[in-house]
Amino acid sequence: MCCAQAAAAPAARLYSVDSYDVRIAPDLEKQRLAGEVAIRYRSRAGSLATLELDAGLGVEIAEVLDGKTQLQFERRSGLVLVALARPALQGVPRRLTIRYRAGPGKGLKFFPDQVYSEFFTSDWMVCNDRPDGRATLRLRIAAPKGWRVAASGAPAGNSEWRIGTPVAPFLYGFAAGRFQEAGDAHLRLLGSADVMLFAPAILDATRAALRFFAARTGRDYAAPLYTQVFTHASPMQENANLTLLPEAYASGLRAQPNDLWLLAHELAHQWYAVGISCRDWSDFWLNEGLATFMADAFLESRFGRERYEREIERSRGIYERLKEEGKDRALSFRAWNTPQEAGGQIPYHKGAYVLDLLRREMGDEAFWRGLEIYTRNNWNRPVTSRELQAAMEAAAGKTLDGFFEEWVYEPVDGGGRPSMQSRRGAVTAKATPLAALARNLSLARRTPVVDSTGAHGVFDLKLEWTPDDTSSAAPESTEIGPSLFTAL
């Protein structure tokens, strides 16, 4: 098979991380966090001599150890390149330990009475901070007496949290400080005394949203505990089992008690980001568009259809403005290689608007059934827009090619559309994902063909083989155009 990759995604890292075992000790006075991370990893390709990890600019690395051996390393912008003492062989688990200190940064916020993380995990722990770098986590936080601490994962004692199902590091987080607390063993709320005035209303709305999302997605909230921490400044950050929100948002509920959108949006990420995560940043809308849309749908269930229409109209208005400013992009957009590039408003607001269009196109019953299928089939798996399309098509009982091509996928470079032509013993494809090629080959050869390359993106390729007897029953020449191809 010869392939010419058209996608512009950064080269995949040649290793995977199984687990992180992290200890952190924040010091509010010095605005420093002392950390140690043990990383269990394995090479994915041949023998690996250098391990490239992410470490924010505010992270100062003291030492990197393989057992007792100190390893050489080099800082390069937000990366640390570790020279392994002996190459890591494919598939063989290895471990190294990094001791570091982290100062304030985009992903680590200090205040006189609290500290918390925000999205850029490599600002407080050295890691492979890519969305496909999913791993388990053990996090231990040393905090002064009297502080309250919350973190991603299930609590294991007072100062330890564990994530047992692999999750992308950008969903790891913590908050620690002199918070007050409300809630129970399943739903915790931390914040200032002022926030506590609104605790009953927040807990009530959160419980209602938990019930709504479970009913609509067909899947209960997956962990024993969900914690919301209301902090200084303005985090709006989902983490696995933990959401950070601005304390001003809680006190704003005094004037606007129905302003539950943000609370619901972040909670919806426990399904769409934590449970099912976009495979790379190009499909970030599967996290953000779905969380935005699901928050709108929760508001519909609580306050009526008019409220839903208003929220969708707001998203449509933002999308229209972006279009006028020349900032429209396909929802599934290969040029988004970093969260910063992907983090504009398109994934959120065009995403929610397009999901509403899809709901109208399919009708309520099929649409919600499609969302259930998507959720059930992809739980704990990374996804692309193709998985959403396949689930919606299964529920609709018809192809949604036209809809997804118009609203989700980007036109192929040069204006060409994905295409695939096959004849006996050969397939020529343009701008084609390998999963689609496998499906096409399965149909053409009438035998299951599985894509186990792990490669994503789209490819121009020509595949030739020697036809066997059974395939001679297949038509000699078949033209397979975009409609069949995209139905895959």
* Residues within the interface to Zn ion (CB under 5 A): 288, 291
Tokens of 138: 């053990």
What residues are paired with 400 via a beta bridge? none
CA dihedral 346, 351, 352, 356 (to 10 degrees): 140
The CB-of-238 to Zn ion minimum distance in angstroms stands at 6
Q: Based on CB atoms, which residue is closest to Zn ion, 288 or 401?
A: 288
φ, ψ (nearest 5 deg) of residue 109: -110, 125
Burial class (CB in 10 A: 0-12, 13-18, 19+), 476: exposed
31: alpha, beta or left, given left = phi > 0 and alpha = psi -120 to 50?
A: left
The CB-of-262 to Zn ion minimum distance in angstroms stands at 9
Q: What stretch of H or E contains 20?
A: strand 15-27
Burial class (CB in 10 A: 0-12, 13-18, 19+), 11: exposed
Q: Based on CB atoms, which residue is closest to Zn ion, 289 or 418?
A: 289
Tokens of 165: 């199902």
Tokens of 478: 């078949």
Tokens of 276: 């099912």
Q: Is the dihedral of CA 358, 362, 368, 370 positive or negative?
A: negative
The CB-of-36 to Zn ion minimum distance in angstroms stands at 30
The CB-of-291 to Zn ion minimum distance in angstroms stands at 5
Q: Based on CB atoms, which residue is closest to Zn ion, 286 or 371?
A: 286
Q: Based on CB atoms, which residue is closest to Zn ion, 269 or 439?
A: 269
- Distance CA(442)–CA(426), nearest Å, equals 13
The CB-of-436 to Zn ion minimum distance in angstroms stands at 29
The CB-of-294 to Zn ion minimum distance in angstroms stands at 10
Q: Based on CB atoms, which residue is closest to Zn ion, 347 or 433?
A: 347
Name the residue type at position 25: A
Are 179 and 190 spatial neighbours (Cβ–Cβ below 8 Å)?
yes
Q: Based on CB atoms, which residue is closest to Zn ion, 268 or 400?
A: 268
The CB-of-277 to Zn ion minimum distance in angstroms stands at 12
Q: Based on CB atoms, which residue is closest to Zn ion, 315 or 422?
A: 315
The CB-of-348 to Zn ion minimum distance in angstroms stands at 7
The CB-of-334 to Zn ion minimum distance in angstroms stands at 21
DSSP secondary structure, 219-233, as one string: ----SS-EEEEEESS
- Distance CA(339)–CA(335), nearest Å, equals 11
Q: Based on CB atoms, which residue is closest to Zn ion, 37 or 171?
A: 171
Pairing of strands 94-102, 47-54: unpaired
Are 183 and 195 spatial neighbours (Cβ–Cβ below 8 Å)?
no
φ, ψ (nearest 5 deg) of residue 266: -65, -35
DSSP, collapsed to helix, strand or coil, labels residue 349 as helix
DSSP, collapsed to helix, strand or coil, labels residue 266 as helix
Q: Based on CB atoms, which residue is closest to Zn ion, 289 or 433?
A: 289
Q: Is the dihedral of CA 458, 464, 466, 471 positive or negative?
A: positive
Residue 350 DSSP one-character state = I
The CB-of-443 to Zn ion minimum distance in angstroms stands at 38
Q: Based on CB atoms, which residue is closest to Zn ion, 131 or 433?
A: 131
